[in-house]
């Protein structure tokens, strides 16, 4: 990354208020990043993706109610369609032409549904560790918990069903699961500060956790819509990802011409893993974007 890469910050109007954005670099086909969560800001995506700002403009934004964006006081705004409208407003408001669109986890759910329903004029779609069915995903999470030593499933899901989440061991067991299936690097390049999370967003959309989705996303499922996607698509996830490689394989199999990559040695947040894995994650994305641009140039010629 060039130390001279230009950084511009500001806000753009979206349904329900204004969201904060950060633009870095210039030239090339722009890359916009949709953070995961739901309810956690985009700053954890800064370190890894700044490396791409030497060759193109990279755009991060905090979804409404999160981070530096306007707060959400009305839970009725926390529905998928509004988030899709938000993405459209950010792309239009920032004047992005045929962008690459990367979404991680919840962000990948959004860019998949957007591409399936709205036929966007994007250069490529990159979905990192997304899911296409909330119920299937929850079942897979519980299966992974059941396979860990120390009765992690009972200490988390069992306590939740029993209404005993105040037990300190409830969070301790969740951390045991996270260290295996969400982030395996004990020293990530940026601190994950849970105090930054929007709990109204998380609770409204998910509920208590991914392993027991009770919020607005409870019945969310777009497997039967994925065949409509006509944007060059990369589905990428980790070997130990709690969005199971089989789930990601099935997503890619439904999208015409989609590619699927499983990164070895990492879990759900490859961009925060040890430096070799972070670098590999960015290299895979860089290569895919370059090939998508080359195909577009050939098509136009």
- HSE (side-chain half, CA atoms, 13 Å) at 61: 31
The per-residue pLDDT of the chain, averaged, comes to 95
Asked about 210 being catalytic, the answer comes back as: no
Per-residue pLDDT band at 1 (split at 50, 70, 90): very low
Separation of alpha carbons 253 and 156, rounded Å = 32
Query: Is 105 one of the annotated active-site residues of the chain?
Result: yes
- Place 298 in a pLDDT band, splitting at 50, 70 and 90: confident
pLDDT at 282 over 50: yes
Strands 58-61 and 17-24, how do they pair? antiparallel
The full DSSP string for 79-142 is: SHHHHHHHHHHHHHHTT--S-EEEEETHHHHHHHHHHHHH----SEEEEES--SBHHHHHHHHH
Task: Enumerate residues 6+ apart whose C-beta is below 8 A from 286.
Answer: 52, 55
**Which of these is catalytic: 100, 181, 247, 268?**
268
Which one of 124, 210, 241, 281 is the catalytic residue? Answer: 241
- Mean pLDDT to the nearest integer, 154-159: 94
Closest by CA to 134, choosing from 154, 106, 158, is 106
Rounded-to-integer distance, Cα 51 and Cα 5, Å: 10
CA distances from 188 to 19, 24, 250 (A): 26, 22, 30
Ordered by where they begin, the domains of the chain are 7-134+188-300 (3.40.50.1820)
Quote the CA–CA distance of 150 and 131 in Å, as a whole number.
Answer: 27
Q: Identify whether the C-beta of residue 67 lies closer than 8 Å to the C-beta of residue 61.
A: no
pTM of the complete model: 0.95
The pLDDT tens digits of the residues spanning 176-235 come to: 999 999 999 999 999 888 788 899 999 999 998 899 999 999 999 999 999 999 999 999
268 labelled catalytic: yes
> pLDDT tens-digit profile of 31-49?
999 999 999 999 999 999 9
Share of the chain above pLDDT 90, in %: 89
Q: Which of 105, 124, 138, 198 is catalytic?
A: 105
């Amino acid at each position: 990354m060039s130390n001279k890469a230009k950084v511009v910050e500001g806000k753009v109007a979206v349904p329900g208020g204004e969201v904060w954005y950060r633009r870095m670099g210039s030239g090339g086909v722009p890359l916009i990043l949709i953070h995961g969560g739901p309810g956690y800001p985009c700053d954890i995506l800064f370190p890894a993706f700044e490396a791409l700002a030497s060759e193109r403009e990279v755009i991060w934004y905090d979804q409404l109610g999160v981070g530096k964006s306007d707060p959400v006081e009305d839970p009725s705004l926390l529905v998928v369609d509004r988030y899709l409208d938000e993405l459209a407003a950010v792309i239009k408001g920032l004047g992005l032409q045929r962008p690459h669109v990367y979404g991680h986890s919840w962000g990948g759910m959004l860019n998949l549904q957007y591409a399936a329903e709205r036929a966007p004029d994007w250069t490529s779609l990159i979905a990192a560790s997304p899911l296409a069915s909330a119920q299937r995903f929850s079942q897979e999470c519980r299966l992974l918990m059941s396979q860990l030593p120390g009765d992690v499933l009972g200490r988390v899901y069992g306590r939740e069903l029993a209404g005993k989440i105040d037990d300190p061991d409830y969070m301790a067991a969740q951390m045991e699961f996270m260290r295996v299936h969400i982030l395996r690097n004990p020293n990530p390049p940026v601190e994950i500060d849970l105090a930054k999370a929007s709990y109204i967003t998380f609770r409204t959309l998910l509920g208590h956790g991914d392993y027991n989705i009770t919020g607005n996303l409870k019945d969310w499922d777009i497997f039967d819509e994925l065949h409509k996607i006509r944007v060059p698509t990369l589905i990428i996830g980790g070997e130990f990802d709690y969005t199971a490689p089989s789930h990601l394989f099935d997503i890619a199999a439904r999208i015409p011409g989609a590619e699927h990559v499983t990164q070895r040695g990492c879990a759900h947040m490859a961009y925060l893993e040890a430096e070799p894995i972070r670098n590999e994650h960015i290299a895979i994305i860089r290569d895919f974007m370059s090939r998508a641009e080359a195909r577009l140039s050939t098509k136009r010629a």
